[in-house]
């Protein structure tokens, strides 16, 4: 299979700082290792001394306050919670660090897709035509995103999420595992408001207001 247009076989950086040494961090480290082997050094980063340890999965762990930005370093924030991710990205950037965009070589993505800085797209995800993906988005394993869809900054798609055509997912939206949506239309896209949460396994059949929690099949708003 030919590499997707966003996979960098020879990245411009040689050290990747991954914020978060937990499950998501380990998965992103695995993505990086599958992409570049030992060409890129991986360092996990935490923001409090109580989380500091010598290594995680054989890779070093450092405090955010102790790492310095360099021309050949980049960062990515491995937190599933969109608001926590937004906060940590802001802190990295304020310290002068630059984000990395990580796209697994086994993701299938067309050339008409736009991908923002700091976004992570995992293996077996398929993103088709005329899709816009914002900055610092996480698209987990085996997601599908179809034509004419927009995904806002800091959104999270958990494993197995399916987004059909003409859907607008707002900033900071969290979508749980195996959730799905119905199609929108050219003149009437399905809109998911900013900072809303779609529970695992939900099927969204109508527009979702900002900040809403939706669950069930069909999905209804929960208090």
Nearest-angstrom CA–CA distance, 12 and 40: 10
The b-or-e profile of 111-147 (16+ CB within 10 A means b, else e) is: eebebbbbbbbbbebebbeebebbbbbbbbbbbbbbb
Q: Tell me the pLDDT tens digit for each residue of 156-169.
A: 999 999 999 999 99
Q: What is the pLDDT of residue 1?
A: 43
Q: What is the pLDDT of residue 152?
A: 98
Q: Which tokens sit at 95? A: 């310290």
The residue behind tokens 């816009």 is 132
Q: What is the pLDDT of residue 73?
A: 97
Q: Tell me the pLDDT tens digit for each residue of 116-139.
A: 999 999 999 999 999 999 999 999
Question: What is the second-level CATH architecture of the domain 15-102?
Answer: 3-Layer(aba) Sandwich (3.40)
3-class secondary-structure state, position 87: helix
**pTM, entire model:** 0.94
The residue behind tokens 């069930």 is 216
Residue 74: pLDDT over 90: yes
């Amino acid at each position: 299979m030919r590499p997707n247009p966003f996979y960098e076989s020879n990245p411009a950086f040689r050290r990747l700082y991954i914020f978060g040494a937990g499950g998501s961090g380990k998965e992103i480290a695995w993505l990086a290792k599958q992409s570049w082997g030992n060409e890129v050094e991986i360092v996990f980063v935490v923001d409090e001394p109580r989380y500091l340890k010598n290594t995680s999965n054989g890779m070093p762990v450092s405090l955010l306050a102790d790492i310095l930005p360099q021309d050949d370093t980049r960062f990515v924030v491995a937190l599933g919670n969109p608001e926590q991710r937004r906060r940590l990205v802001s802190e990295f950037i304020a310290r002068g660090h630059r984000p990395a965009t990580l796209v697994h070589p086994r993701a299938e993505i067309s050339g008409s897709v736009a991908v923002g800085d700091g976004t992570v797209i995992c293996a077996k995800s398929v993103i088709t035509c005329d899709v816009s993906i914002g900055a610092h988005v996480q698209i987990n394993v085996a997601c599908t995103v179809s034509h004419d869809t927009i995904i806002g900054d800091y959104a999270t798609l958990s494993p197995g999420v399916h987004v059909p055509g003409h859907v607008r997912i707002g900033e900071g939206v969290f979508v749980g595992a195996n959730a799905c949506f119905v199609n929108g239309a050219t003149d009437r896209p399905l809109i998911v408001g900013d900072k809303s949460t779609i529970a695992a396994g939900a099927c969204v059949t109508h527009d979702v207001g900002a900040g809403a929690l939706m669950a069930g099949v069909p999905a209804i708003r929960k208090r």
